[in-house]
Amino acid sequence: MGKIISLINTTPDGFVDSQYVNADAEFHEFVHTLLAETATVAFGRNSFELFQQVWPAVLQKEGVHESQTRMANALTDKPKQVYSSTLQTTTWNNTGIVTAIDENEMGQYKQDGQKGLLTIGSPGLVANLTRLQLVDDYYFCVQPLIAGTGSSRLFDKLRLDSKTPLKLVKTHTLKTGVVIIHYQR
């Protein structure tokens, strides 16, 4: 059965800004395990624009670490959706623009025998999917620093009618000190 999976980096004080992400070869290898389970990668507009700027450019550079090249290839080859009501065009291969979350369409990722959908970053998209109770698995990658400031906090605008209990599945600590916490809804 497919799932909707959220992978989001956060600091212990809740900031999800990309500047605080420690993404080395070990982290990239972990992301590859999630990519193997998914048919599509989904982004909100801001995260997408950052990824579209960074990852295709990695493929044009020489002397890039193998883990970055492998990640750039995987993300370029994988079908991608960017959720935005204002974005008009993209330049990244295999990318479609979706103007609104369609709960029925999201259901296709949860059918038996299907591969799922993976969100990377994209706190606004994750909040909306959480509000609609569509996320099956959360991977919170807790970065080993107190940011103290930033542009975005995880779930800072999310308002739910009731609590959403999560079940701890596993934790994994990377050599960098990043702790990956896997929860299921």
CA geometry: angle at 178 spanning 92 and 134, to 5°?
55
Q: Are strands 179-184 and 4-10 parallel, antiparallel or unpaired?
A: unpaired
Angle of the 66-77 helix axis to the 45-58 helix axis, nearest 10:
120
pLDDT at res. 133 = 93
d(CA 130, CA 65): 35
How do strand 167-173 and strand 179-184 relate by DSSP bridges?
antiparallel
Q: Which CATH number fits domain 4-184: 3.20.20.120, 3.10.310.70, 3.40.430.10, 3.30.390.30?
A: 3.40.430.10
pLDDT tens-digit series, residues 58-76 = 888 888 889 899 999 999 9
Q: How far apart are CA 157 and CA 149, in angstroms?
A: 17
> Which of 33-71 are b and which e, b meaning 16 or more Cβ less than 10 Å from the residue's Cβ?
ebbeebebbbbbbbbbbebbeebeebeeeeeeeebbebb
Residue 180 pairs with which residues in a beta bridge? 141, 172
In whole angstroms, give the CA distance from residue 152 to residue 80.
23
Listed as ranges, residues in the chain with pLDDT below 50 are none
pTM higher than 0.85, yes or no? yes
Q: In the beta sheet, which residues pair with residue 19?
A: none
Domain ranges of the chain: 4-184
Q: Rounded to 5, what percent of the chain is helix, strand, coil?
A: 30, 25, 45
